[in-house]
């Protein structure tokens, strides 16, 4: 113990402090900027990583090991807080209500990514990962947009939130499958592993919904300190153990989040969110830092094409999902544009591929795509009304019903 | 009482709305963080809100007070929640399987852990009800217990 302390006071640590401090401060300035403009900070973090990676200012050498572990912790905490957002009841409720919209969402939005990957001659695994990147909306950006724009009360909002919940659920099934595919197992073994991996998830999800109350009571403590240590320890431990079963550690973290409920859930969120913000920012930065700047220009055209398609497919998804709940054209348009933003989880998915080294162009393409989509999503969602062409001829069945009956029938 | 529509907003909270006798559509979102959003729907586009007023707990108390509500009970419930204890008004849904049964038949203490401090039905009220008291559909019970016990009770008496 004594030796460790002595070594830790050496010059290497001083360097690491300076490096980390500089990076985190740069990220802080960017976060401040993004709050002022009202955009998600994620594209700015990525941009900072790209710039730093390209010209070598702010080199990270002494702190490299810490930054990489920090980035991994960022992924775990992102998934944990995501799981924390939803209760098992909301998950099953969303499944019952919006399963069809969820399928439409998956088919419309994952297909362009998978197809482009295959067209570019990538391996099937890399193509599936790109499908994941284009599929998943940024629940962080979308829920913040809905809140900031005062849309939580809107008729289309439950449809939007249901789509987000189902995407998260889909990701929990997708991640272990990807884990198996990425480990490079042969087709026969792979199939078995995939079944095992999904089995593990289903069992844990079942245990979480069934016995989550017990876990929440066991974790509960009046002291913030005890609660924080317990929760973070649990997330890392379960994440690590699940990873040993070849299921992504992120899935373990998500499931811990799902299992916590009641008062513990809210307090844990309040305590862990600041930690998550710190480590997730490091993750986005490190992800972009590892992107080879020279690889960016060739992927710009595919990324922009994918972005253009991605806007259309998400608008269609929202249009469909809100339409099923009897919402008028303006609301359906709002639902669609609200879903356009892609962000943190697209990067998380691409990150798995980058770590496994499946396709050198995946990182740059995902970074460029998210940069465009995070900004485009935030801007598009601000429009309140559908373009005139969409409104003409469609009429407003939902709205007319509401007016005539004088009472909104809530289709839920 | 006006019919109240409830919609769950996954990850956000619960939205409740109703139409006033004058035809205006009003709603309240109770978020997980305790913030409440007061919603006034747009008459021209009923899918959107004309205005959204975020209220913190203090604001909500003030508004309830202005509307003639009982501020003391609100304050009491906040206090009790701090101790991990909840006091809540739970409605017996008319189509609930529990409607019309007695407290004893339902084994409410055993099954939920919550105690019923009073049963209110129409103009009648039964404070400190024994196991023989019937819970008619449409009645309101005052429940006391741990947060999750009261939640279980609400589920039992729900539709």
Q: Are residues B98 and B124 in the same domain?
A: yes
- Determine what percent of chain A is predicted with pLDDT higher than 70: 90
> Where a domain ends, among B31, B48, B69?
B69
3-state secondary structure of B81: helix
Provide the β-strand partners of residue B84. none
> Where a domain ends, among B52, B69, B86?
B69
Q: Using 50, 70 and 90 to split pLDDT, how confident is the model at B79? A: low
Q: Are residues B84 and B153 in the same domain?
A: yes
What pairing do the DSSP bridges indicate for beta strands B5-9 and B124-127?
Answer: unpaired
| Residue B72 confidence (pLDDT) above 80 | no
| Residue B80 confidence (pLDDT) above 60 | no
Task: Quote the CA–CA distance of A318 and A333 in Å, as a whole number.
Answer: 7
Q: Are residues B22 and B82 in the same domain?
A: no
pLDDT of residue A21: 92
Instruction: Considering only residues A191 and A237, tell me which one the structure prediction assigns the higher pLDDT.
Output: A237
Q: Are residues B9 and B58 in the same domain?
A: yes
Q: Are residues B62 and B82 in the same domain?
A: no
> Where a domain ends, among B16, B37, B69?
B69
Chain segment B38-53, per-residue pLDDT in tens? 999 988 888 888 889 9
- Determine what percent of chain A is predicted with pLDDT higher than 90: 46
Q: Are residues B48 and B98 in the same domain?
A: no
- Rounded to a whole number of angstroms, the distance from the CA of B11 to the nearest CA of chain A is 5
- Determine what percent of chain B is predicted with pLDDT higher than 70: 89
Q: Are residues B131 and B108 in the same domain?
A: yes
Interface of B with A (CB under 8 A): 3, 5, 7-12, 15, 17, 19, 23, 25, 27, 29, 32-33, 37, 39, 41, 45-49, 51-52, 84, 147-148, 151
pLDDT of residue B95: 82
Q: If we measure between CA atoms, which residue out of A89, A84, A69 comes closest to residue A140?
A: A84
| Residue A49 confidence (pLDDT) above 80 | yes
Structural domain boundaries of chain A? 9-386
Chain segment A308-364, per-residue pLDDT in tens? 999 999 999 999 999 998 899 999 999 999 999 999 999 999 998 888 888 999 999
pLDDT of residue A251: 83
Q: Are residues B126 and B150 in the same domain?
A: yes
CATH number at residue B126: 3.30.70.1450
Instruction: Considering only residues B37 and A197, tell me which one the structure prediction assigns the higher pLDDT.
Output: B37
Q: If we measure between CA atoms, which residue out of A7, A412, A371, A339 comes closest to residue A146?
A: A339
User: A197 to each of A22, A82, A203, how far by Cα in Å?
Assistant: 40, 20, 10
- The answer to ipTM > 0.85 is no
Full 3-state SS string of B111-128: HHCCEEEEEEECCEEEEC
- Rounded to a whole number of angstroms, the distance from the CA of B41 to the nearest CA of chain A is 8
Q: Per mean pLDDT, which range of A33-42, A177-186, A366-375 is the poorest?
A: A177-186
Phi/psi of residue A290, nearest 5 degrees: -80, -5
Q: Are residues B21 and B92 in the same domain?
A: no
Number of domains in chain B: 2
Q: Using 50, 70 and 90 to split pLDDT, how confident is the model at A185? A: low
pLDDT of residue A213: 76
Give, as one character, the DSSP assignment of residue B29.
E
Instruction: Considering only residues B130 and A156, tell me which one the structure prediction assigns the higher pLDDT.
Output: A156
Nearest to B52 among A150, A330, A408 (CB): A150
- For the question of whether the overall pTM of this predicted structure is more than 0.90, the answer is no
Q: Are residues B82 and B54 in the same domain?
A: no
pLDDT of residue A105: 96
Q: Per mean pLDDT, which range of A112-116, A185-189, A305-309 is the poorest?
A: A185-189
| Residue A160 confidence (pLDDT) above 90 | yes
SS3 content of chain A, % helix, strand, coil (to 5): 80, 0, 20
The CATH architecture that domain A9-386 belongs to is Up-down Bundle (1.20)
For residue B106, what are the domain limits? 78-157
């Amino acid at each position: 113990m004594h030796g460790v302390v002595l070594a830790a006071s050496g010059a290497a640590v001083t360097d690491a402090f300076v490096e980390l401090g500089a990076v985190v401060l740069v990220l802080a300035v960017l976060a401040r900027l993004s709050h002022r403009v009202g955009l998600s900070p994620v594209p700015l973090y990525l941009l900072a990583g790209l710039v730093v990676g390209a010209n070598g200012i702010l080199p990270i050498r002494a702190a490299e090991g810490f930054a990489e572990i920090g980035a991994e912790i960022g992924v775990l905490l992102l998934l944990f807080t995501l799981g924390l957002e939803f209760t098992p009841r909301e998950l099953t409720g969303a499944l019952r209500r919006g399963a069809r919209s969820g399928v439409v969402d998956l088919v419309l939005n994952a297909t362009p990514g998978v197809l482009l990957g295959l067209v570019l001659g990538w391996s099937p695994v890399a193509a599936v990962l790109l499908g994941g990147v284009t599929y998943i909306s940024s629940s962080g950006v979308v829920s913040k947009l809905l809140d900031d724009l005062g849309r939580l009360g809107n008729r289309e909002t439950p449809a939007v939130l249901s789509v987000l919940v189902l995407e998260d659920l889909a990701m929990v099934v997708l991640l272990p499958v990807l884990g198996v595919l990425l480990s490079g197992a042969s087709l026969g073994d792979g199939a078995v592993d995939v079944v095992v991996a999904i089995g593990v998830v289903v069992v844990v999800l079942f245990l979480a919904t069934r016995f989550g109350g017990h876990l929440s009571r066991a974790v509960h403590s009046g002291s913030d300190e005890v609660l924080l240590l317990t929760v973070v320890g649990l997330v890392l431990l379960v994440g690590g153990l699940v990873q040993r079963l070849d299921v992504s550690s992120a899935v373990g973290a998500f499931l811990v989040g799902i299992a916590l409920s009641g008062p513990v859930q809210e307090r844990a969120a309040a305590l862990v969110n600041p930690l998550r913000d710190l480590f997730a920012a490091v993750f986005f930065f490190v992800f972009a830092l590892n992107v080879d700047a020279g690889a960016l220009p060739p992927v710009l055209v595919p990324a922009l094409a994918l972005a253009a398609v991605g806007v259309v497919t998400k608008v269609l998804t929202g249009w469909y999902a809100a339409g099923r709940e009897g919402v008028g054209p303006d609301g359906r348009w709002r639902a669609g544009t609200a879903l356009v933003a892609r962000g943190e989880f697209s990067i998380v998915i691409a990150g798995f591929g980058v770590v496994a080294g499946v396709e050198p162009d995946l990182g740059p393409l995902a970074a460029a795509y998210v940069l465009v989509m995070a900004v485009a999503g935030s801007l598009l969602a601000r429009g309140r009304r559908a373009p005139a062409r969409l409104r003409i001829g469609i009429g407003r069945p939902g709205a007319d019903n509401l007016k005539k009956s004088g009472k909104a029938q809530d289709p839920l | 009482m006006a019919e109240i529509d409830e919609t769950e907003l996954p990850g956000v909270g619960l939205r409740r709305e109703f139409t006033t006798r004058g035809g205006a559509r009003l709603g309240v979102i109770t978020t997980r963080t305790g913030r409440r959003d007061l919603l006034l729907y747009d008459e021209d586009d009923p899918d959107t809100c004309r205005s959204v007023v975020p209220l913190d707990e203090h604001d909500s108390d003030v508004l309830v007070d202005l509307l003639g509500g009982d501020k003391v009970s609100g304050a009491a419930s906040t206090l009790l929640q701090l101790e991990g204890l909840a006091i809540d008004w739970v409605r017996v849904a008319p189509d609930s399987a529990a409607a019309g049964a007695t407290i004893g038949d339902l084994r409410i203490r055993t099954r939920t852990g919550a105690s019923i401090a009073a049963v209110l039905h129409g103009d009648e009220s039964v404070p400190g009800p024994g196991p023989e008291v019937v819970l008619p559909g449409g009645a309101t019970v005052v429940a006391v217990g741990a947060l999750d016990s009261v939640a279980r009770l609400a589920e039992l008496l729900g539709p």
